[in-house]
Structure 1
């Protein structure tokens, strides 16, 4: 691995003896690494299994976003950034295959090496790796990127850096990371951090956001044009260093990627119908079935594609901030869930065609099982029996309404639960024993019209209970500032989860970051059981242990009643110009992160 020393004969002899011991495994450089088992693709693989290696190069894709932006730096907390830049303008040491639960293949790194316990990991850079200005990617860039992101970057990077005991250069093109805790996923996660050009930030404050610093990238795309607050254009770099890599074969085929920004979803959809955009994702099946019949779809110029997937549903709904009263009481949260008339709302908004999310990992084998916890799942949870919310051990399921608008049984159950928590109707208003009214604010981001329709129906139910509900609609910048600072009672919530949950669960649900601004634990969960289940996931050495720990985590989250779940999105609806095409073979993750545009291509008939 390029170390700058020659081992002594005694050291060589010791190594030979140790390697011969039963059960000993010698670390060797590999082309890839899997969380469990072996990577599916061999060292001489030609391309990822879900790409078209013969896809033509060229064309453009134009997509729309609701909101605006004031920064091009996606690696810090400050500023509003087009979310795609985080994935399209930087490269990592390893790249992820979306056809395997968690397997990484070499990208900037030529090889990866780790010990059997994964207490350390070592990467060797490809000699040909370059930034978009032609300068080489060096170990100095790598080490600066990890340290800077880990100390000054967005909170998503900070927690991981605390688990790195040491970082050392071990050769001209190699670097080793040693970890401070037993956590097998760290050897993989560390390979996914973006590598930035150190010299670009000389004399520039990294934590400042703005539009004046155009990132120098190591990725296939470069920022070509910026219309502040309105659009960003990326262009395929013909001099990108990695076009011959198997990992890139059949990917990044589109010449130009344009992200247009609109004040609301209606304006975005009208721009798509007018041909200003040539690809549009739809999240409402009723709208998909009723409003996508316009001249371009009837003529075949626009294609309606339905993309299935096998990943977990994740959680979409309305999150309650447990840092604040009254949502610090689980009984109030339970009443809020019970009062949510999903069956009626689903019929009114989607025509009843989208199933409800039933757990954080529904639509996958990772989801909690119905009924009482059994076997390994129960064994993991029982030490925390005194701290668990009702239902975690004995079984928890969302209440089912009768489908009528009034939902009398559900409302009665919600009233009973509120009374248990000390809230009763006094003079027509819901109040506590001190006479204080039940007054909450639901924070809502401007432009999310579909979710607003759901919210409006729900608020009517809450007001019938005697609650004083205010909907505060703010622009995207204010929304990000308030949610980053946990300055809300309730807000819309969407958390995508994968088939390989790991360290990111701490960011989403862990106690450590519950009060740290910018973390993604919006509900403010502080549960020893949740923390322990996440640790069990990270320490799992077999798929069986991993499965049990994830199902146990799912139970603790659902029983915590932190979120009012709405629809599953088990398929993606994408309407697009007929010239935009994608491979017939779909990855198990389906339309995930940058599947579009990564494997799409533009081809005129």
Structure 2
């Protein structure tokens, strides 16, 4: 008994000592309280060059213009790179999946029971007008985003009960429950707004007035819809912090806007801008052929992407009666011939997306494991039975363009759903044709859709491709005024609160949420909540895989394709560190070589 008592006392002493350390705050926080990669006395990230020279101008391209400098509201089309104006409470390391280090907050304290997180602000932190960053600014930012910002914030921060200003440099976020382990990290990503600056402005309106932040850059010039120019803040308060050393090396970042990617590519080859992240397989294979590429002035480089790629797919809007029947959605999906498309249009460079968490351990694999079945069994009868009995895989063709068997299978599914062929058109029991509109904003997607359209027509299904301008497209997405479209749901190595915005019933009627599908399913809601509240990594993985299976077998999207690299092209006067981060291509760690020749069209305006 004495030995047991001694052990108990020792445990209490250790626990008290551990809580004392937590109360002093940490320089970093991790999702499951594992040790961060970098110790408290680290000087810079491994993927940065602390001696990188400052100077020069980085010229980038934007697409389709902009009409707002307020990215926090569901109005307008915000300018590119606008996040450079703002600092966050913490900085996410690009070579760790779940670790954040102090930025505006020099120390972070997480409650041992995950009931709150406290941030101790750096007394040196300043907005770029010289005013200090205070706990009141943090409180103001949170409340403003939740009350007046994009609907995403209300879902993202739904588990926060209160924000308490404890002192001018100390702020505490109290949580509604203790199960959401990701919430402290999410709050660390808050881009802090200046309360004094917004006191005289309407946060709910779009504006082209350069906003005030505390970040490494400020806007020096804005030409509405056409270009903008960021200027490095020479006395940025955080420039010597370990998280910033070796980053933000360009004196200026200039962005010109182009009407589409094809025009932008020609401008890049002519030396009109310096760096291009390529999304088109065709352009990557053939579009860069030029004297500048052949003589080494332009460099093409693929950088390995270790991030989950999420899902890109042709999206059914379940709010439309046409797509409420799963058999109809599945039949239409059978007529998209990825293998032919990949061979003929993409130079066989893409991988078919098999999961909503593709390129990660979160993706469903094989049949459900015992741990997944514990999650799924209570939902049996309210989720597709195939979840339990079959391994999901998108249909595969021989790339010849002949998909006769799949067309027959689609026809059988449509017959089961009450459709028939009448005058070469697929019609339902009331004689209404199976016809829908596919809305796009980018012209290059049309060449992917046209072969799909032909396959549909062979079965009497009519798909109209409607190209809208960007503002019209955004408005129609927000108002859910579409039948089909192309959507992307990005994922991280640590999915969490954003899943509510993607799939949860609470987001279905919110304009601006990413619940494009129109999902309103209690079974999916329970999987989303279980994922968000997972107490450890293993449980998170099991919930992600279970959710993945249910989404896949619901046939809510037609999965598209992905690559597991970033395709970068840049002019040779740019340099980058020897080590690339695992989870980014790290453009803000690059710099201009001091003595390198500039592109022919370069001007330092």
Q: Does 1:375 align with 2:370?
A: yes
Distance 2:156 2:354 in 1: 30
Deviations, residues 64-112 of structure 1 (Å, cap 9, x unaligned): 1221111110011111112421x21111111101211111110000111
Aligned ranges for residues 127-166 of structure 1 at < 5 Å?
A: 127-166=123-162
How much does 1:477 deviate?
0.8
Matched residue, 2:602 = none
Distance 1:393 1:60 in 2: 56
Q: Does 1:20 align with 2:2?
A: no
Distance 1:143 1:277 in 2: 40
Matched residue, 2:67 = 70
Q: Does 1:45 align with 2:75?
A: no
Distance 1:49 1:510 in 2: 38
Aligned ranges for residues 79-478 of structure 1 at < 5 Å?
A: 79-85=76-82, 87-181=83-177, 182-211=179-208, 213-370=209-366, 372-394=367-389, 395-445=391-441, 448-478=442-472
Distance 2:314 2:457 in 1: 17
Whether contact under 8 Å (1:147, 1:161) holds in the other structure is no
Q: Does 1:554 align with 2:544?
A: no
SS of match in other structure, 2:444: helix
SS of match in other structure, 1:92: coil
Q: Does 1:582 align with 2:576?
A: yes
How much does 1:18 deviate?
12
Whether contact under 8 Å (2:302, 2:565) holds in the other structure is yes
Whether contact under 8 Å (2:319, 2:518) holds in the other structure is yes
Deviations, residues 117-137 of structure 1 (Å, cap 9, x unaligned): 211010011000001111111
Whether contact under 8 Å (1:98, 1:587) holds in the other structure is yes
Q: Does 1:523 align with 2:520?
A: no
Whether contact under 8 Å (1:111, 1:123) holds in the other structure is yes
Tell me the TM-score normalized by structure 1.
0.93
Matched residue, 2:498 = 504
Distance 2:258 2:373 in 1: 49
SS of match in other structure, 1:91: coil
Distance 1:551 1:310 in 2: 18
How much does 1:215 deviate?
0.7
* More displaced 10-residue stretch of structure 1: 243-252 or 254-263: 254-263
Runs (4+) of structure 1 exceeding 4 A deviation are 21-25
Deviations, residues 25-65 of structure 1 (Å, cap 9, x unaligned): 51331111000222111111111121111111112222212
Distance 1:161 1:280 in 2: 34
Whether contact under 8 Å (2:164, 2:172) holds in the other structure is yes
Q: Return the match for 2:489 from 492, 495, 498.
A: 495
Two-structure CA RMSD over aligned residues (Å): 1.8
SS of match in other structure, 2:328: helix
Name the CA shift for 1:23/1:420 in 2 (closer, same or farther; >3 Å): farther
How much does 1:548 deviate?
1.3
Distance 1:540 1:18 in 2: 30
SS of match in other structure, 1:316: strand
Gaps of 5+ in 1: 1-16
Tell me the TM-score normalized by structure 2.
0.93
SS of match in other structure, 2:108: strand
Distance 1:78 1:566 in 2: 29
SS of match in other structure, 1:326: helix
Distance 2:364 2:521 in 1: 18
How much does 1:293 deviate?
1.4
Distance 2:571 2:263 in 1: 18
Number of matched residues?
A: 581
Deviations, residues 272-306 of structure 1 (Å, cap 9, x unaligned): 11111111111223321222110111111111011
Distance 1:19 1:538 in 2: 31
SS of match in other structure, 2:393: coil
* More displaced 10-residue stretch of structure 1: 196-205 or 513-522: 196-205
Name the CA shift for 1:490/1:83 in 2 (closer, same or farther; >3 Å): farther
How much does 1:19 deviate?
8.7
